Amino acid sequence: MRILGIKDYSYKNPAFERRLRKDEEQDYKNTIHAAQKQLGLHNVAMIVHGSAFPSDGFDSGIGSPYGMPSKKFLKFLDLHGFNNVQLGPPGEISKSKISPYESGVFAKNKLFIDLEALTGDEYANILSDETYSRVLEKNPADGKTNYNYSKFYDAFDNYDIALSEAYENFKKKVDAGDLNARKMAADFNLFRMKNSEWLVKDGIFKVLTKMYGTDDFEKWENPLDKDLPKLVAKGNKEALERFDRILTRSDDEILKNSFIQFIADKQIKEHANFRKEIGFSYINDLLVGFSKSDVWSNPDAFLKDWRMGSKYGGPDGGPQLWNIAVLDPDKLYDKNGKLGVSGELLREKINSSLDGFDNLRVDHAFGLVDPYIYNVNDPKIGGNISKLGHLGIDNDKKFREILERIVFPAFKEHGVKLNDAVWEDIGAATDVFDYMYHYKYRLPGLTQIQWARAEHCPQSNWTLVGSHDSVPASQMNMEVWNKDYLAGYLNADPLREAEREKFKSKLDNKSNMLNAKFAELFRATKNIQISFADFFGIDKVYNYGGQNHIKSNWKLRLNNDYEDTYYKSLENINSNTMCMPEVLKTAVQGKIDMTVAKWNDRDIKIEKLEGKNPHHAAQIREALYEKYQPLLNKLDKYSKILREKEN
């Protein structure tokens, strides 16, 4: 780059192949990190839910954030400057409810279990190679698409076959004295002891769900089964007999369910150790709701006949009815701060969400301060919980102090700093929420700059362009992004007016506009999230937020040849795929320019007051380019490498 009036630090680039060579990767990574450090970035997270992870040529139907392919994928992300992944909730789902936001709190998703690991010695070879090969489908690279789709129904069938065999082989090997199996059995027993309360209830719930053909326990024919945990807790003789009868008759089925949960938990912990080695973090998603199993198992913790939703965004501009159970405010804590059954359940929910993970995204933060709730029998009766005292709900205003009394202590216990967590405060705020969340606690938020300017975002906020609930950035209305603003914000140095106009003229091209929008994000903020669709240039939607797209929602995922298609797509200068060094170069240049522009404004003010120009801006410009031109050159070099067509 050459700027009038300063030295020429330009760099002549030789011809390179489009892909990084192995001997270039470390320097590339160092260059990306140096640029991020210069910009003051703390976190760069990719939004990619567990089911959307790629496979390695063979898979069960969906992706997994814990298996061997995930480790390869994280190393790819680490190379390109990411240090976090924002996952979706990892709880158990069902064939009829594949949304991770309808999953369980305590039971983990068995479809994320790495089946290949079960064929190895550490897992006592409890899954045969034959069955492993039979249930995994070859997913060949086609070199044409940069995406794939999950096959949830296939995955459920595949895992039922594989995990049933693994459980039976586990029992046989333990009885036969297999040392690896016995070691695993000892760990399994410890897991059962630690988690016995929810494991037994969850197992019995699954037995009853299978019996009735639905997990909606309100539709179960036997009133005793509907309220079984509550009646058992009260010592009801008939309920106790029913509970013991189910436990006895279905003991092996319940034990199998516990074993599957043990394997899922074990692999989560093992993957956490791997991430620690490479300095990478998983941000788990603390979903606002509870599963049917959670509600059935803890009936006293919830308000009867009330559900959580959102005040706006529903049919005809009305509320969204989420059918999410609402914690009973009167049972959160007493006047001395001792937690009641609702408070204990929420604390355990947070503990479970952080066990084996590094950070949390707090889904729908309003739901922990002043949620919108409605009566399930008459949805017209409802409002934010702070306004429902006349209905006898939360008269003591306990809900608004959930964060201080329950959430903050749980975060502290797990070493999660409040300003590091991802707080989703997007939605219909209330006066109570604004006061407690922003004024009293001064918590950060989540800012989507699809409509906003990044320069106006609080530095503590996490920021993004597109999320898991939005269309890809390439499909957004780019007219609202304002070409004049972006060109000026990223090229503010007065001596670069010609470059600024040239930059602006290129923003009619979608690829250049996307580059500029993400450069704005990197230039202005410290904590960034980028959806996998945006990074890989995928033009499909992962989830239409608030819309019931049964055929497509939650099914988009990365193809197993994501590296090849990523690098191949960068050959096309008009592709929507993100070229990280290109974006960072624009952002670094923008920061240099803004610093010079601010000093130039000072020079002008001094000249008006004192009649002389101290030329601070010229000196600052010279010093900055002396320091950062080598970095700009390297970013430019690697941009060209990634854009170069393969020979």
Tell me the domain boundaries of the chain. 1-48+477-532+581-647, 55-77+85-283, 298-359+366-426
Q: Are 357 and 283 in contact (CB under 8 A)?
A: yes
Q: State how far the Cα of 344 lies from the Cα of 338, in Å rounded to an integer.
A: 9
pTM of the complete model beyond 0.85? yes
Compute CA 223 distance to the chain's CA centroid, rounded to the nearest angstrom.
Answer: 39
Give the class (CATH, top level) of 55-77+85-283.
Answer: alpha beta
- Backbone angles phi and psi of 642, in degrees to 5: -70, -25
- Block means of pLDDT (10 residues each) for the chain, 647 residues, are 38 52 95 97 97 90 94 97 97 92 94 96 96 86 83 95 98 97 97 95 96 95 96 95 95 97 97 96 96 95 95 85 95 95 97 96 96 96 96 96 97 95 90 96 91 85 93 93 95 95 96 96 95 96 80 91 93 93 98 94 83 85 95 96 81
Can you read off the two tokens belonging to residue 518? 């993400």
Cβ-Cβ contacts under 8 Å for 184 (sequence gap 6 or more)? 123, 124, 170
Residue 552 has a pLDDT of 83
CA distance 239 to 547: 40
Angle at 165 between CA 160 and CA 166, to 5 degrees: 100
Which of helix, strand or coil describes residue 134?
Answer: helix
- The three-point CA angle 389-390-393 to 5° equals 40
H or E stretch at 422: strand 422-423
DSSP assignments along 609-639, one per residue? HHS----HHHHHHHHHHHHHHHHHHHHHHHH
3-state SS assignment for residue 325: strand
In a 10 Å sphere around its CB, with 0-12 CB exposed, 13-18 middle and 19+ buried, how is residue 234 labelled? Answer: exposed
pLDDT at 427: 79
Q: Which of 139, 131, 119 shows the shortest CA–CA distance to 54?
A: 139
Residue 57: per-residue pLDDT? 79
Helix and strand numbers, DSSP H then E, in the chain: 22, 16
